[in-house]
Amino acid sequence: MSENNKSLTKDVNKSGFPLQIWLEDSIKRSGDKHGWDVVGHEHYWRNQKTGKDGYIDLVLEKDLSRAVIECKRVLDTKWIFLQPDMPSLKARLLRSQSQAGKKNLFTWFDFNMTEQVAKSSFCVVRGQAEKDKPMLERLASIVLDSVECLSEEEIEIINPKHNKPIIYVPVIVTTAELQTCQFSAASVSADRGEIKDGNFEQVRFVNFSKGFSTKHSLALEALDQVFYNLKDANKANERSVFVVNTSHVEAFLIVLKNLFQDSGI
């Protein structure tokens, strides 16, 4: 390979697009195993309220579920998710529903999962400066915004008689190695704010859940209820974004297809 081609190849790889193209092809080739169809790539979205816009890397569909995927290529990096609590069977996802003669319904709702997945609100990325806004939070905010915009777009184009709820799952697929760090909160030193040692484990995917400011709120909003304390308001702002290592996307999609076993969807 000539020096010019090497330079151009390096530029292409830095873009992250080869990863996205590979992922789409991989999902299509393994569709008979997980049942998800790729229904869109580079799907444009725009938040009419804020003016923010962008492109969704991949949109997947299975029955009444959608997976909205953002690809993140990083090299030689570990994302460490702190886990002072046990794994959870709950995930807070977006549900939309068309209502004839009424305002369309958009709610973030707790769904039961069929498999325990590590859940965390804290992600440590080596090399990230203390004053920087956490990288994963920035990326998750964009994905959540795109999910809500996609749900609003879809509800406008589906048959008005279609009144079954549609579920949207935000997903970040990354080349980063995913690790969990389990420890007891009581073991953290008060004078230094440090853990003595943690139980580290490499995992396939993580349910990254924390408070994010988005357009649509919890089901309480749909029921015209209000919050009377900060605890309820904090709970209403929680959102789940699944973070998946590239080597385990197929396994994640297999888990995902059975996600709503107790939700009636």
Q: Which residues fall within 8 angstroms of residue 187, CB to CB, at 6 or more apart?
A: 195, 196
pLDDT higher than threshold 70 for residue 216: no
What is the spatial distance between Cα 150 and Cα 66, in angstroms, rounded to a whole number? 10
If you average pLDDT over every residue of the chain, what do you get?
A: 86
Identify which has the larger pLDDT, 40 or 223.
40
Domain contains 29: no
Domain contains 102: yes
Domain contains 164: yes
Tell me which residue has tokens 């997945």: 117
pLDDT at 222: 45
What is the spatial distance between Cα 147 and Cα 59, in angstroms, rounded to a whole number? 10
- The number of CA neighbours under 13 Å toward the Cβ of 124 is 9
Domain contains 99: yes
The parent domain of residue 239 ranges over: 34-197+210-257
Domain contains 179: yes
Domain contains 97: yes
Provide the number of structural domains found in the chain. Answer: 1
What is the Cα Rg of the chain in Å? Answer: 20
Domain contains 90: yes
229 secondary structure, DSSP code: S
Domain contains 89: yes
In this structure, which long-range contacts are made by residues 10-16, counting pairs with CB atoms below 8 Å and at least 24 apart in sequence? 16/71, 16/72, 16/73
pLDDT band at 253 (very low <50, low <70, confident <90, very high): very high
Which amino acid, 66? R
pLDDT in tens, 100-153: 667 788 888 888 877 788 899 999 997 665 555 678 999 999 999 999 999 999
pLDDT at 153: 92
